[in-house]
Amino acid sequence: MTIAKALDALAPLLGERLSRSKSELAHHGRSESYFPQTEPDAVAYPETLAEVQALVKICAGHGCPMVGWGAGTSLEGHGLAVRGGVVVDFSRMNKVLEIRPADMDVTVQPGVTREALNEELRATGLFFPVDPGANASLGGMAMTRASGTTAVRYGTMRDNVLGMQVVLADGRVIRTGTRARKSSAGYDLTALMVGSEGTLGLVTELTLRLHGVPEATSAGICAFPDMHAAVTAVMETIQMGIPMARIEFVDAATARAFTAYSGMEMSEAPHLLVEFNGSPESVAQDAERFGEIVADHGASPFRWSAREEERRALWALRHNGYYAILASRKGARALVTDMCVPISQLAQAVEETQADIARGSIPGPILGHVGDGNFHAILLVDPDQPAEMEEAKRLSHRMAERALALGGTCTGEHGIGMGKLDYMEAEHGEGWDVMGQIKRALDPQNLMNPGKLVRQG
């Protein structure tokens, strides 16, 4: 039972698509975040379900860990082979298999990225809305239960994965879900797999829900005197049933970084960026009503537009937010946090976090998906100063504890991976043991992405 024997057995199956080259191992040992370089023993590039199944059976037979890899954009080290073994890179399983416009769904292979899917959908009048920022793979997005700017309207991966084909740890292949929009037929294995971070199996196919491209879109921006005013305005908007497609918060530090990066002038104050989808009449009406609400909370006049170029400029600003913030401190690396709390607790959560950051020595601009109660501090550390990374980790730790104290979760959309293992006990109590029982029932050898999500023995 050795990894070496597994690799010997995999070689004839995959030929050149089993790589042990230095550059491949280095690339698949990197994380987008602060985790140390952790290289696997080999990288496999399967092209078919049959190959994945054969690979899993060989690895299972030799006790060799298997770690799925999509686009490598995880922020919590999900793709790192911390116990060695094979990284299974799905970049060659990147086909859109079937688009069904009448059912507004699509079946894809896991290596398709969200941008590639939307490119393929362009002529159909449909789109896939989940948008975590990065051009992540859809398999990876499902496995981390990703979301992003549009979750307030279209939901997260939990809501937009209708079914999956999964190769389990013993090589069995299951299909979860059906193509019906709903079902009461037994345990919801689709929901169990979404967010399971590759610890229960490797996903080889996904059926996703699509949405109609809105006939019209309006988007705009306004500044607030403080965070409380911004959050209160968002709560009122939700309660009045005005359907926002995106509602993003940026704090004063982020506004300053945006101004420096883009040249678009923003006052150094908290802002909301908002978008409405619908008919030309409804998006105009929604924007007008939103403008009235925010005015009641002391906001600057709500500047909005239904013109595509202006909307694009606004969202380019938001999409480049991470890079704008990174550029605000020369040579910095980022530790990105991911608190999510009930919306009634959001203003307090942000304010306490800002105060905590202000007491320290490193900058940490904040931005987030205010409609979901989810926000990120981008903690900017000098990579040559280990003490700064330690300070960032302490800040991140206090943010996770603050999220739990306020009734929220330690991760809204980035996942557990290795980075959030320390909070699972506090967040789930004995529920974490239940997750471990499920893991052991389905992967008794602990070969599927070991070292992640469940309690480590």
Q: Scanning residues 117 to 136, which ones bind a second copy (CB under 8 A)?
A: 125
**Angstrom distances, CA of residue 281 to CA of 239, 306, 361, 416:** 21, 11, 49, 42
Q: Is 12 in the site for a second copy (CB under 8 A)?
A: no
Task: Give CA–CA dist 93/90, Å, rounded.
Answer: 5
CA distance 110 to 108: 6
Instruction: Tell me the CA distances in angstroms from 200 to 3, 47, 66, one per residue in order.
Output: 20, 20, 11
Two tokens at 31? 């994380």
- Phi and psi at 298, nearest 5°, equal 80, 15
Q: Which of 23, 185, 263, 359 binds a second copy (CB under 8 A)?
A: 185
Residue 168 or 306 with smaller CB distance to a second copy: 168
Stretch that binds a second copy, among 52-60, 176-184, 301-309, 391-399 (CB under 8 A): 176-184
Question: Considering only residues 15-74, where is the footprint of a second copy by CB under 8 A?
Answer: none
By the rule CB under 8 A, 456 interacts with a second copy: no
Specify the residue, 21 or 437, whose C-beta has the smaller distance to a second copy: 437
Instruction: Compute the least distance from the CB of residue 107 to a second copy, in Å.
Output: 11
Per CB under 8 A, 318 contacts a second copy: no
396 is a site residue for a second copy (CB under 8 A):
no
Instruction: Name which of 118 and 262 has its Cβ closer to a second copy.
Output: 118
Helix (H) or strand (E) holding 66: strand 66-69
Minimum gap (Å) between residue 403 Cβ and a second copy: 8
- Encode burial over 368-387: b for 16+ CB neighbours within 10 A, e otherwise: bbbbbbbbbbbbbbeeeeee
351 interacts with a second copy by CB under 8 A: no
| Interface with a second copy: number of residues (CB under 8 A) | 93
**Min CB(147)–a second copy separation in Å:** 6
Stretch that binds a second copy, among 31-39, 183-191, 261-269, 307-315 (CB under 8 A): 183-191
CB 304 within 8 A of CB 281: no
Which residues within the stretch 411-440 sit at the binding site for a second copy (CB under 8 A)? 411-416, 420, 423-424, 427-435, 437-438, 440
Which residue, chain included where needed, has tokens 């009641």?
296
Strands (E), 136-233: 161-168, 173-176, 201-209, 211-212, 216-223
Out of 114, 145, 209, 402, the residue judged to bind a second copy by CB under 8 A: 145
Distant-in-sequence, close-in-space partners of 185: CB < 8 Å, separation ≥ 6: 178
**Do the beta carbons of residue 192 and residue 94 sit within 8 Å?**
no
Contacts (CB under 8 A) with a second copy, residues 156-175 = 156, 158-159, 168, 172-175
Contact map string, positions 241 to 260, toward a second copy, x by CB under 8 A: x-------------------
